[in-house]
Amino acid sequence: MFTDDPHLFVADTVHPHILIWNILPTENSTSADFVLGQPDFASRVPYATRDDLFMPTDVCFDGVTFGFPGTSSAPAGWTFP
């Protein structure tokens, strides 16, 4: 999990994707605004293509580009949507 205030980024290892909220959620079950690593919020295909993630455990963000230090395979140079 990572935040740069106001965004929240969460790595989900079980459903291999990164969830992004544009504003920090204030209530449980608030839907994320973006998903990375899967074509949509419902898909759960582990590492099917070069654009997918395999077991992401962490996320970093420098304001432009994402990094996934705990991920065994991830695309390079993803930029913020």
Residue with tokens 């969460």: 10
CB 44 within 8 A of CB 15: yes
pLDDT at 27: 94
56 by Cβ neighbours in 10 Å (0-12 / 13-18 / 19+) ranks as: buried
Give the pLDDT score at 32. 95
**According to the model, what pLDDT value does residue 69 have?**
61
21: exposed, middle or buried (Cβ count in 10 Å: 0-12, 13-18, 19+)? middle
Alpha carbon distance 75, 49 (integer Å):
10
76 has a pLDDT exceeding 60? no
pLDDT digits 0-9 by tens, 18-75: 899 999 999 999 999 998 878 888 887 766 565 567 777 777 777 777 676 655 555 5
